[in-house]
């Protein structure tokens, strides 16, 4: 079974739509992350949840709203996005005890029209 899963894999939405990205990890990790990967830009950390508490918000616009109901699930709620928000959104998890390795999901390719 894949360690970190993400759904949907592809999403096309209009600027007035509301949608949610889902991430689930089956590794027993305590920390979960959202990253944004745009073309020709380095991977950008968006949010970090550690033991279900948000510990990082890297100046992300409020049209992106994360939710972490438990240590295994992470959501990214999207509303009134802009075309420049089109990107690959990657979820990752790690042990959260200072150990070093992050495990990534396959990503959701988001296109905003």
Partner 1 sequence: AQKITQTQPGMFVQEKEAVTLDCTYDTSDQSYGLFWYKQPSSGEMIFLIYQGSYDEQNATEGRYSLNFQKARKSANLVISASQLGDSAMYFCAMREGQETSYDKVIFGPGTSLSVIP
Q: Given the rule CB under 8 A, which residues bind partner 1?
A: 31, 33, 41-43, 45, 48, 50, 55-56, 88, 90, 92, 94, 96-107, 109
Nearer to partner 1, 16 or 101 (CB): 101
Asked if omega into 8 is within 30° of 0 (cis), the reply is yes
- What's the closest the beta carbon of residue 21 comes to partner 1, in angstroms? 13
- C-beta of 18 vs 26, nearer to partner 1: 26
Task: Report in angstroms how near the CB of residue 83 gets to partner 1 at its nearest.
Answer: 20
Between the alpha carbon of residue 17 and those of residues 14, 63, 80, 84, 110, the distances in Å are: 5, 11, 6, 15, 13
85/94 with CB nearer partner 1: 94
Three-state SS for 83? helix
Q: Tokens 């944004």 correspond to what residue?
A: 36
């Amino acid at each position: 079974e894949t360690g970190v899963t993400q759904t949907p894999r592809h999403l096309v939405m209009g600027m007035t739509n509301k949608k949610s990205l889902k991430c689930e990890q089956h590794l027993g990790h305590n920390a979960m992350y959202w990253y944004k990967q745009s073309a020709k830009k380095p991977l950008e950390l968006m949010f970090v949840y550690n033991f279900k508490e948000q510990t990082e918000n890297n100046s992300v616009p409020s049209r992106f709203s994360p939710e972490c109901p438990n240590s295994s699930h992470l959501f990214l709620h999207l509303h009134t996005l802009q075309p420049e928000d089109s990107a690959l959104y990657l979820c990752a998890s790690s042990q959260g005890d200072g150990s070093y390795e992050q495990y990534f999901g396959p990503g959701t390719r988001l296109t905003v029209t």
